[in-house]
Structure 1
Amino acid sequence: MNNIARAAVLTVAAVLSLGALAACGANEGGGGGDESKTIALLLPESKTTRYEAFDRPLFEKKVEELCSDCTVNYLNADQDASKQQQQAQSAITDGAAVLVLDPVDGKAAAGAVKSAQQSDVPVVAYDRFVEGADYYLSFDNEVVGQKQAEALVEATGDKGDILMLNGAPTDPNAAQFKEGAHSVLDESGLKIAAEYDNPDWSPDNAQKFTSSQLNNIDPQDLAGVYAANDGQAGGVIAALRSAGVKEMPPVTGQDAELAAIQRIVAGEQHMTIYKPIKIEADKAAETAVKLVNGDEVTGTTDFQGVKSFIFDPVVVTQDNVNDTVVADGFYKVEDICTADFEDACADAGLS
């Protein structure tokens, strides 16, 4: 081999060697680029106001506070399980270090968990349980249903016909709310005249179902309504109002949506379940950042074999609005007490 050929071979070898070293450095994480610090936040839908108004901004704010070089890749599935599967796969392909997943369909989401873990990407199940996830954060969902049902039993005097509107069958939380509620209602003096599992938690569906049942039940004879969340409670109340009901029977709810708090203050909705979302979102962000940084996650309990953080829900009625959602800064008095609710707020001591 002449000198020119030998030099050319050495040059090619040197370039290939540098390329291999660069590739190794890129795959080692540690101080790597944005991909090694990306947290994918996958939320299920936007019809329920909590996700866009609270969960997302609170999560993003806490991540930024804890990890200035972390990036949150936010994805919303619009209540489409197939779309969420695609979003999860895209997030993995794009180099997410952690998936924080609130599933549209808990069973279908198990596939996304397996794909993520095969790529060494841990999954934090957020608010709704997913079998096989590395971590799970939520409120005690059976207790939520129990507290709703207990409030309804007390408000109705434990007698009469009620309607029961549950959440989506694909939502694992909905099954737990329903189980908790039935554990109370089935032992009570109340009779469930009709029961409905709402496919997508839609307020419109809730209104249509309630209106259809009022063809069989005199609205004046309806003792109360178990509505699993505030969106459905709003649909129920709209149907009752359209049927000419002036004084609403007790209607339950969940999520402490602003419109629901206003209805409670005005005496239209009996109660809601307040789940301090900041606690949940902050803990999810802390967990994700620890996983990104390779730090140990401590303080968990076991829930169905998954390391979990389980928080306590709070009942909100007209009597304690000031001591719960207002005291926690979830809403300001001026948010609740708009012009239409000034008199009701004054009567409730909120003005």
Structure 2
Amino acid sequence: MANELTIGTLLESESAAPARLLASRMNRHTFWCGQSGSGKTYALGVALEQIMLHTRLPLVIFDPNSDFVKLGEIRDDAPEAEAAELRTRDIRVRHSTTGAGDPLRTRFLQMPLRSRAAILQIDPVLNPDDYNTMLRMETDISLIEDHDLVGFMRSHPDRIRHELAMRLENLGVAEWKLWAWGERSITDEIDELPDATVVDLGGFATQAESRAAALAVLDHLWENREQRIGRLIVIDEAHNLCTPEPATPVEKLLTERIVQIAAEGRKYGLWLLLSTQRPSKVHPNALSQCDNLALMRMSSPRDLADLSEVFGYAPESLLERSPAFTQGQALFAGGFVDQPSLVQMGARLTHEGGSDVKVPLR
């Protein structure tokens, strides 16, 4: 059936019955977790492939470790019928690594004022003159020629604009390769509703640039929420973007935006899938909004206790078995399964992007 996504086999079944997720219940937020080596990223890829095969739900995948950059590359051993179907899907990967493929770019001047100010480390209360100048500049943005923002600001007699230009240069923001400056933006790709858009965040020189890229995409999705286009927003290593203790202005806005989508996004068709190794490192106000749970091997008593408290629909007797899971085994609970189930994940149809560093042998 189209509503059923086959992801593997049931561990408790004598006949190795297929394990399935309910596609129609992906319209809830999902929490996907497992410690390093549990097979979390591989298993997530299995689920995403099935979503692309059996639904028209556009995926926006935040990929900090380049694990999903090969999502469009079919494995030679993939079943032919599924492989042929998957080849028809529109999968776009935008890279942060120079020369790796289509570049990940976004438009600085189209980001919300608060986000641009956060990138420049300008607080509206602590830096009122700077922020107010940015606010008054909003009417001038259309006048900027040749995308020379620094030159435009220096050409104005206002001293504070000169200081803002200096801040752009001193922080290195003006030179970030993230900015489109007339090129195609990642938001243009997303608006065309491909089956999947992979936002490869791992190749930027600094975390600041990577997080600015993530913020630009999340801002765009939220600003266009009234379109009510169903989207699954997949955030791998979610603890990097939605931490309980954000330190920088951009981290604070990222966490605020993700928590906002977790609290209000469902009615607009913005559904989160948060994947991480450490549940305790994800903001509790995002975690508590998840109605679906995928749990792979997790040995930390603290994390298991947190999961038991937050996800009351997951039987404690099954949660307790998590430390003994082997690679690729998982507990699924919540609305996207008929009943809590232990699953052996199936094989990927596409290649996994990231890889471990091998031990050199003599």
* TM score, norm. by length of structure 1: 0.30
Higher RCO structure (Cα 8 Å, ≥6 apart):
2
* TM score, norm. by length of structure 2: 0.30
Which has the larger Rg? 1
